[in-house]
Amino acid sequence: MNLKETVIGLELGSTRIKAVMLDKSHLPIASGSFEWENRLENGIWTYHYDEILDGLRECFSSLKKDVKDKLGLKLNTTGAIGISAMMHGYIPSDEAFTPLCSFRTWRNTITGPAASELTRRFGFNIPQRWCISHLRQAILNKEEHVGRIAHVETLAAYVHRLLTGRNVIGIGDASGMFPIDSSIMDFNKTMADDFLSLTGLDIRKVFPKVLVAGQPSGSLTAAGAALLDPEGCLEPGIPFAPPEGDAGTGMTATNSVRLNTGNVSAGTSDFAMVVTDARLGVHREIDMVTTPTGTAVAMVHCNNCTTDINSWISLFGQFALAAGLDLDKNKLFSMLYSIALSGKPDCNGLISCNYYSGEGVTDFDKGLPIFTHPADKEVKLADFMRCHMMSALATLKLGMDILKKENVRIDKIFGHGGYFKTPKAGQRILSAAINSPVSVMETAGEGGPYGMALLCAYMLWGKGASLEDYLDRKVYNSCSVSTVLASDDEVKGFDEYAAKYRKLLEVERKALEVLNA
């Protein structure tokens, strides 16, 4: 095999850094991963900068081993590499690109005053997790580092620059920094001028240069090669695709970049992306971002999805171990997810709020998981698991219901991410939440890194085709797709659950106040 005819997508997700290598047929042929977790320090959700670099190296080392084991080759080159990462957040740096504070991730809900001010000023929803909200809040807080800011990056742009020396960003990731004007494929000029008059900072100079899918964005430098592969096998000079956010790579991984298609990514966080030309009002629950080629997308982003499920399944795993059963983690997840499907559509009155962190959609700055059940009903495992799987999507449903009221057309919805790994389970519950068929591709478990690798392939082999046509004709033309439609009873059950969930949020707010969590 000629490694020049392969591509590598590498994504820094919330709980895992993963790399996927594809051949020229767009099939995954090797992968690598590294598990990590964010930490709450001084009220800030963060990852340390040395953890970012160590994780990258460990992930690439894992990929190298898989290439050696499966292909019998030394991974010294590839056709192209692309970096993707969790969107938004805040990495400010000085003229020399030295970070000025800890990396603030998308999970933080500490920018309320800034987000509200900018939303009013721009007439455009600016969520708390966006880079511009973090920047404005730092200014409002009169933080010490503000006067030295020369650059602000997302995580993907930060890593891309370390590997290539280029200070650039893909337009999808950029759309989570600041509003995009799709007519010029760049940051909105009117709003940028307004921010300049407000703060004296020109985001067109402070933020990375915006690129669209298909454009080259530098190549691996000798320093970048040494950073990624300290063993010295990897050769410099490998082309790079524009760095993207996990929303854009998720859309690519599910062939959801064409108008009126959408996807739901569900893991630590969950978000729905619908490509639309509809003119929407300003809704706090709806972000307007773009595809990797700059087409407008309505996004419902929720900070909390599977973390609470993971904690309960970990508890069951501890019980199994105490009982002498050393169950494989993946098998345990699959078993319990499958059991959820036999639960009652309304979970027999069981309900939970899955907030581990704040939640912008429902205006929470902090979270505290809550589970409750009727005293006069038996708690059954199937209802319990279904309750928590529905809780994971309940906040997403609130936002999707707004899109329905806005008459946003959705022809297809695809699911991807860990929530959908167990066949049918996550699909069926999402279908009940949105009252629409949900499809999952055979590559759904690969998620963002697979999508990033496809963007690399498009850059190399697209030959002038649109990204939509390239994916339809070259990538997904023979892909296996599974489609599931929830029953009327399941849809009704989720609607009833969601109504109780809204009321439970009042309890959540009071619990945070009383317990001072």
DSSP assignments along 161-226, one per residue: HHHHS--EEEHHHHTTTS-EETTTTEE-HHHHHHHHHHHS--HHHHSPEEE-TTS---B--HHHHH
Binned at pLDDT 50, 70 and 90, residue 517 comes out as: low
- Using one digit for the tens of pLDDT, what is the confidence trace for 472-507? 999 998 888 899 999 999 999 999 999 999 999 999
**Overall average pLDDT of the 233-250 stretch:** 96
Q: Is residue 129 a contact partner of residue 193, using CB atoms and an 8 Å limit? A: no
Q: Are strands 209-211 and 168-170 parallel, antiparallel or unpaired?
A: parallel
Q: Are strands 16-22 and 7-12 parallel, antiparallel or unpaired?
A: antiparallel
Binned at pLDDT 50, 70 and 90, residue 444 comes out as: low
Alpha-carbon span 300 to 396, nearest angstrom: 6
Is the model more confident about 14 or about 491? 491
- Amino acid in the structure at residue 316: F
Which pLDDT does position 169 carry in this prediction?
Answer: 98
pLDDT score of 443 more than 70: no
Tokens read off for 343:
């639960």
Core vs surface per residue 20-36: b (16+ CB within 10 A) or e: bbbbbebebebbbbbeb
Query: Could you say which DSSP state residue 432 is in?
Result: H
- Using one digit for the tens of pLDDT, what is the confidence trace for 74-101? 999 999 999 999 999 999 999 999 999 9
- Amino acid in the structure at residue 45: W
Alpha-carbon distance values, 175 to 178, 208, 292, 295, 420 (Å): 6, 12, 10, 11, 26
3-state class of 75 per DSSP? coil
**Overall average pLDDT of the 48-77 stretch:** 97
Which pLDDT does position 223 carry in this prediction?
Answer: 97
Delimiting residues of CATH 3.30.420.40 domain(s) in the chain: 3-254+444-475, 307-443+487-515
Which pLDDT does position 446 carry in this prediction?
Answer: 60
Which pLDDT does position 471 carry in this prediction?
Answer: 95
Alpha-carbon span 212 to 241, nearest angstrom: 9
For residue 301, what is the enclosing H or E element? strand 296-302
pLDDT score of 348 more than 80: yes
Alpha-carbon span 204 to 173, nearest angstrom: 15
Q: What angle do CA 214, 216, 220 make, to 5 degrees?
A: 135
Alpha-carbon distance values, 112 to 115, 210, 430, 443, 483 (Å): 5, 26, 29, 37, 39
Q: Is residue 83 a contact partner of residue 452, using CB atoms and an 8 Å limit? A: yes
- Using one digit for the tens of pLDDT, what is the confidence trace for 361-406? 898 989 999 999 999 999 999 999 999 999 999 999 999 998 988 8
Which pLDDT does position 281 carry in this prediction?
Answer: 84
CATH of domain 3-254+444-475: 3.30.420.40
Q: Which residues contact 311 (CB under 8 A, 6 or more apart)?
A: 369
pLDDT score of 421 more than 70: yes
DSSP codes, 263-286: EEEESSSEEEEEE--------TT-
Q: Is residue 163 a contact partner of residue 221, using CB atoms and an 8 Å limit? A: yes
Which pLDDT does position 280 carry in this prediction?
Answer: 85
Taking Cα atoms as reference points, which of 417, 127, 396, 162 lies closest to residue 283?
Answer: 127
Core vs surface per residue 391-416: b (16+ CB within 10 A) or e: bbbbbbbbbbbbbeeeebebebbbbb
CATH of range 307-443+487-515; options 1.10.1660.10, 3.30.420.40, 3.40.50.10310, 2.30.40.10? 3.30.420.40
**Overall average pLDDT of the 97-126 stretch:** 95
